[in-house]
Amino acid sequence: MVLRLNGLARLVGAAVVLLGAAGTTHAAGDPALGEKKFYTCYGCHGNENYRNAYPDYRVPKLRHQHAAYIVAALKEYKNGDRPHATMHAQAVSLSDQDMEDIAAYLQGPEPVKPTKTVGPVPPQATQCGACHGENGSGVEAPLDPKPPVLAGQHPDYLEQALTAYHNGRRKNVVMGGMSQLLKSDADVKAAAEFFARQPSPLATATTGSK
Ligand code: HEC
Ligand code: HEC
């Protein structure tokens, strides 16, 4: 993988470090095994617009999300850094290898990054680009922790995730800080809606989808 270092100077957040080239090759997940292990997950993540109840928001799209981020998110549900009873119950039953396999299956080949940005970037989203890309589809630099693709994600899910970082329910050093830039519910909504309408590799992980 070719490392593109331009733009790194703009990076903020002490917890974000540049990995050596070895760190960018993601640990060996087996996508074929991952597809089998994802069996119990289709019920929610494999249905277009399937909703979480109380509070009501759509479950996140996982197809073509970054593998390293999927693994990190599953570990956070497992250890409680992300509070969600169902996802905690799902994640505790997964070994590290299960997570790698599932993540390899969901990501597939390295996600294509659409370069187009739809509409002007609202002030609420200008400081997100260093890690998420101007249009939310990522940056070339291999960052750790791996920032997720935001482009094309469900806006109501993005809103609830940002609110959870903001009020400390999701415990993440980087996003705990970044979410404080959004001062009101209206700011959160503006950022979420901007990223949600961007061109995206993300899709619902329906059975048989690639
Ligand atoms: C009963 C419904 C349900 C099932 C079953 C389920 N999930 Fe989830 N999943 C959710 C919801 C709701 C969220 C969002 C939780 C939150 O607000 O943090 C979520 C979040 C996630 C995320 C975080 C995505 C992101 O963008 O941060 C991952 C990864 C994930 N699930 C993977 C899985 C895997 C793997 C399985 C099967 C082992 C699974 N889920 C089973 C409902 C479900
Ligand atoms: C310094 C790098 C950095 C910056 C700047 C940054 N983020 Fe993040 N973002 C991350 C990382 C890393 C994660 C994964 C955190 C985790 O594991 O929960 C993340 C996660 C998220 C998520 C969760 C997505 C999901 O699928 O659950 C949202 C939403 C988000 N960021 C929005 C934003 C917005 C909006 C801004 C600008 C106000 C922003 N981020 C700025 C690094 C960054």
Q: Tens-of-pLDDT digits for all 210 residues of the chain? A: 333 333 333 344 334 444 433 344 445 899 999 999 999 999 999 999 899 988 999 999 999 999 999 999 999 999 999 999 999 999 999 999 999 999 999 999 877 788 899 999 999 999 999 999 999 999 988 899 999 999 999 999 999 999 999 999 999 999 999 999 999 999 999 999 999 999 999 999 999 888
Q: Let me know: does 135 contact 185? Beta carbons within 8 Å.
A: no
Could you identify the atom of ligand 2 that is nearest to the CA of residue 16? 1
Q: How far apart are CA 195 and CA 158, in angstroms?
A: 9
> Rg for the chain (alpha carbons), in Å?
16
Pocket test of ligand 1: the residue of 41, 98, 158, 162 to mutate, having most ligand atoms within 8 Å of its CB, is: 41
Confirm or reject: Cβ of 74 under 6 Å from ligand 1: yes
The pLDDT of residue 1:
32
Confirm or reject: Cβ of 73 under 6 Å from ligand 1: yes
Q: Let me know: does 60 contact 195? Beta carbons within 8 Å.
A: no
Confirm or reject: Cβ of 93 under 6 Å from ligand 1: no
List pocket residues of ligand 2, CB cut-off 6 Å.
12-13, 16, 60, 72-73, 76, 125, 127-128, 130-132, 145, 147-148, 150, 153, 158, 161-162, 170, 172, 174-175, 178, 181-182, 191
From the list 1, 162, 155, 168, the residue with the least C-alpha distance to 68 is 1
State whether the Cα torsion 155-158-164-168 is positive or negative: negative
| Burial bucket for residue 207 (CB in 10 Å: 0-12, 13-18, 19+) | exposed
The pLDDT of residue 28:
86
Q: How far apart are CA 1 and CA 46, in angstroms?
A: 31
The pLDDT of residue 193:
98
Q: How far apart are CA 48 and CA 206, in angstroms?
A: 8
| Burial bucket for residue 163 (CB in 10 Å: 0-12, 13-18, 19+) | middle
Burial 18-56, CB ≥16 within 10 A → b, else e: eeeeeebebeebebebbbebbeebeebbbeeeeebeeee
| Burial bucket for residue 184 (CB in 10 Å: 0-12, 13-18, 19+) | exposed
